[in-house]
Structure 1
Amino acid sequence: MTFTVLTCEFMHESNTFSRYQTGLPQFQVDTLFHGDEAIRARRNANTELAGFMDVAEPAGWNVVHAISAHAVPGGQVTKAAYDHIAGTILEAARSNRLDGVLLGLHGSMVPDFCDDGEGYLLGLLRAELGGDIPIAVTLDLHAMVSEDMVRHAQIFVSYKTYPHVDMRETGAHAARILDRAMKGEIAPRTIRVHVPMLDEANSGRTDIPETRALYERARDAETGGLLAVSVNAGFTGADVSCVGATVLATYDSRDPGAEDAARQVTEDLADRIWQGRTKKRNVFIEVDEAAAEALSWRGDRPLVIADYADNPGAGAYGDATALLKGLLDAGVRGAVFAPMVDPQAARELHRSRQGETVTVTIGGKGDPDFGGGPLTVTGVLRKLSDGAYVGDGPIQGGLAHSFGPTAVIDVDGIEVLVVSEAQQMVDLQQLRAFGIEPTARKVLALKSMQHFRAAFEPIAGKVIVCDAGALATPRAERRRYSRAPRPLWPLDRDFERVPAA
């Protein structure tokens, strides 16, 4: 029998504290492909869609791919953008007789009209399809999983790596479960346990033993009637009713022991997350300490400074200036600072020619209270570009991206990559494409929390993490949460978690 399966990718991590919104142009800049165009663009890369197709093609599915839509994390998704993308998915559901649905979602999308973008979409699909069609969902490790999501879909599989390098593997895992469900071999259901924490203590970092053990436990449990176990670390940038870490277990409801096993493993993992709430491994240093270490660095390979709090990958503005100013004030040379997200400055620099000495005001436009205000600098314009590049690393390998109009300005020995479109640093081609060889630089100051490690840690002599006070600061108390459920660690500390019933 040939199964007809609706597939799509609709992903956004929404920072509700951002002053900006994410509209359709932001999806168009990053990823907005329809139908077969999406399959051509994403089939041979590390994407959920590639994983879907790895299963669909040998299984002989008739794949109806509606859309692949992804925007860089930022402010809430506008209703217009949401309705356009969700409408495309719903129209494909109405127009085809489906045997199953396979969705690549993020899990932390917040539109401007509700708290739970994924739960709302799944509710619309379920109303359209009725209760019998199996729906499988892949999620980012930093998903905030709501009760509505689990109510409307039967199958959930989340990434198990951070930096995220298992997108394709996750897509294939979900597709295999869906295939068995459509064949009638299994009857999947998913249970959810919420942990009253903004996020897991180490934000899901799988490069450290304590947190990696959670994902190893989840993977080891995936036997027999336990089809998928997912640990979702949560996302601190969203002030919504479903914020927090969760554990999911998708199980075969026909297996007599599977539901009890699912409840046991989810409760065990939730308790481990809670017991580890005070055991942070990241050491966040101040700007002056980071600048001093950069000045004294004598290693054979670059010192990498993660500008953690201004990570565009967490919805920060990417234009904070505090760390750059600290490096300049300390007299650091042979350094790179990337990116500085400032389309206005990029436009101004494009009015000059390469090799000219220019003066420009950069950064500080999103919110100078988070990470520093505008900084006026004078330097030599080294490179002008349209910002296009193709990644070749573990995360973006084979995928075409663009920073938009881009310039490199050398300010007293620090090459600043000024870009128009927000992206965090995850791939060496984000420097090499603009004439900067990262292995030949003394210091690399990168706006990223963790994903930079996949490509940049192998070339680094040392990595340090700086909290320069921008919007994604680990000091959660600097953000005003009003919709998040309370009590919630670490905003509240004098309470104990109640185990799931």
Structure 2
Amino acid sequence: APIVLMDVGDNIGAGSSADSTHILAEAQRLGIEGYLQTLYDPASVQKCLEAGVGSNVSLKVGGKTDHLHGSPIPIGGKVRTLFNGKFEDHRPTHGGFRFYDGGLTAVVDTTDGHTIVLTSLRCGNTSLEQMYSAGVDPTKYRIVVAKGVVSPRPAYQPIAKEIILVNTPGVTTSDLEYFEYHRRRGSLFPFDRDADYLPSRQNQ
């Protein structure tokens, strides 16, 4: 059973980019094999389409929406699958959704033991059929990344050995100190750990 890492900073259902590469970069650095995740990257999907199933490709994936979610990561590998990205799930899912569309989707098995599912539309990791429909069995991996906090749980908790929340950088991070503030008032916890709240005169 895989360990499922929740990519908190790239919570797709909360409006994030769906292309954060922070965890992927760390997996590469540590030499982790048996790793699976999705990335929104229509440009890389198009390159896989041009190359064709079974072809070797060199890509720079993810990290293309903004500067908050990491940089594009170089990968090399073979295109395993191409499909239209439409799938249906009869099992319990977050919100009870049944029909999904990730757009044209490409699966790349990399030379360093990763499987990257590249989508052309932003599609949350709330259904295992996202993987099964692409010819990927998530139960066969050591590490599976699910972008979210709560919404992936109905799908991934039944197959997970353990679920770990990873507080990655990004627009949905739970670390409020990550952001740059321009109009924040002073003496506000948790930014000021010794914030002192005194009743105002008008409330006395």
TM-score normalised by the chain length of structure 2: 0.86
Tell me, in whole angstroms, the C-alpha distance in 2 between the residues paired with 1:313 and 1:497.
38
Superposition pairs for residues 160-175 of structure 1, below 5 Å? none
Shift of 1:357: 1.0
Give SS of 1:329's match.
helix
> Equivalent residue for 1:385?
83
Pick from 285, 306, 312 the counterpart of residue 12 of structure 2.
312
Shift of 1:497: 8.8
Determine which structure has more spread, i.e. the larger CA radius of gyration. 1
- Relative contact order (alpha carbons < 8 A, sep ≥ 6): 1 or 2 greater? 2
Shift of 1:397: 4.4
Pair 1:367-2:44 in alignment:
no
What amino acid is the match of 2:58? T
Tell me, in whole angstroms, the C-alpha distance in 2 between the residues paired with 1:351 and 1:497.
64
Pick from 447, 450, 461 the counterpart of residue 147 of structure 2.
447
Pair 1:341-2:22 in alignment:
no
Q: Deviations over 1:335-389 (max 9, x none)?
A: 211x211111112211121111111111111223x23211121111111111111
Tell me, in whole angstroms, the C-alpha distance in 2 between the residues paired with 1:486 and 1:435.
52
> Equivalent residue for 1:354?
53
Q: Deviations over 1:178-223 (max 9, x none)?
A: xxxxxxxxxxxxxxxxxxxxxxxxxxxxxxxxxxxxxxxxxxxxxx
Tell me, in whole angstroms, the C-alpha distance in 2 between the residues paired with 1:485 and 1:454.
39
What amino acid is the match of 1:470? G
The structure carrying a bigger helix percent of its residues is 1
Shift of 1:484: 6.4
Q: Any conservation in 2 of the 1:396–1:427 contact (CA below 8 Å)?
A: no
When residues 395 and 333 of structure 1 are mapped into structure 2, their CA distance, relative to the original with a 3 A threshold, is same
Q: Deviations over 1:428-479 (max 9, x none)?
A: 1121111111222222112112221122112111111222322322221222
Pick from 420, 430, 443 the counterpart of residue 130 of structure 2.
430
Q: Any conservation in 1 of the 2:127–2:152 contact (CA below 8 Å)?
A: yes
Pick from 8, 25, 29 the counterpart of residue 329 of structure 1.
29
Shift of 1:398: 5.3
When residues 346 and 488 of structure 1 are mapped into structure 2, their CA distance, relative to the original with a 3 A threshold, is farther
Tell me, in whole angstroms, the C-alpha distance in 1 between the residues paired with 2:35 and 2:80.
14
Shift of 1:331: 2.1
TM-score normalised by the chain length of structure 1: 0.37
Pair 1:473-2:173 in alignment:
yes
Q: Any conservation in 1 of the 2:94–2:152 contact (CA below 8 Å)?
A: no
Percent of aligned pairs sharing the same letter = 28
When residues 405 and 486 of structure 1 are mapped into structure 2, their CA distance, relative to the original with a 3 A threshold, is farther
Shift of 1:310: 1.6
> Equivalent residue for 1:407?
106
Structure 2, unmatched stretches of 5+, are none
Superposition pairs for residues 60-459 of structure 1, below 5 Å? 301-337=1-37, 339-368=38-67, 370-392=68-90, 393-395=92-94, 397=96, 399-411=98-110, 412-459=112-159
State the number of aligned residues.
Answer: 197
Pair 1:460-2:160 in alignment:
yes
Structure 1, unmatched stretches of 5+, are 1-300
When residues 403 and 480 of structure 1 are mapped into structure 2, their CA distance, relative to the original with a 3 A threshold, is same
Q: Any conservation in 2 of the 1:391–1:397 contact (CA below 8 Å)?
A: no
